[in-house]
Amino acid sequence: MTIIYAILALAGLLWGTIWMIRGSLLHGCMALLVATSTFGVLFFEFKAGINLSLDRLALIGLIGAFVVQWKLGKVQLRSWMTIDYVIAALMAVIFINSCFLPWGGESLVIQHFLNGYLIPLTLYVIARNLDYTERSVRHILIFLVVFGLYLAATGVLEGLGQYSFLFPRYIADPKIGLHFGRARGPMVQSVSYGVYLSTCLLAVWILRDHVSAKWRTALYLLLPVFLAAVFFTKTRTVWLGAGGSLLVVLWLTLQGRARTIVIGGLFAAALLGGLTKMDGIIGLKREGTVQDTRNSVSMRASFAYVSWQMFLDSPIVGHGFTQFKEAKLDYLGDRKVDLILESIRDYDHHNTFLSILVDLGIVGFIPFLAMYYYWTRDAWRLAQREEPPWAKSLGVLFLGVIVISWMQMFGHEITYTPIDHLLIFCVAGMAMGIKQQFDPVVAAEPRLARAASRQQPVTTAYERRAT
Reported as type and span, the H/E element at residue 440 is strand 440-442
**pLDDT of 239 higher than 50:** yes
- Indicate the pLDDT class of residue 287, thresholds 50, 70 and 90: low
Reported as type and span, the H/E element at residue 175 is none
For position 270, what pLDDT does the model report?
A: 74
**pLDDT of 119 higher than 90:** yes
For position 91, what pLDDT does the model report?
A: 98
Please state which of the ranges 45-59, 194-208, 432-446 shows the lowest mean pLDDT.
432-446
**What is the distance between the alpha carbons of residues 467 and 74, in angstroms, rounded to a whole number?**
9
For position 183, what pLDDT does the model report?
A: 96
Please tell me whether the overall predicted TM-score, pTM, comes out greater than 0.95 for this model.
Answer: no
The sign of the CA dihedral 410, 411, 413, 414 is negative
For position 286, what pLDDT does the model report?
A: 58
Q: What is the mean pLDDT of residues 218-230?
A: 96
**What is the distance between the alpha carbons of residues 395 and 259, in angstroms, rounded to a whole number?**
19
For position 293, what pLDDT does the model report?
A: 55
**Closest to 140 in 3D by CA, of 62, 214, 206, 233:** 206
What are the Cα distances from residue 249, in Å, to 15, 38, 160, 221, 243?
40, 27, 29, 18, 10
What is the per-residue pLDDT across 6-16, written as a single tens digit (0 to 9) for each? 676 677 777 77
Angle at 201 between CA 197 and CA 203, to 5 degrees: 115
What is the per-residue pLDDT across 154-210, written as a single tens digit (0 to 9) for each? 999 999 999 999 999 999 999 999 999 999 999 999 999 999 999 999 999 999 989
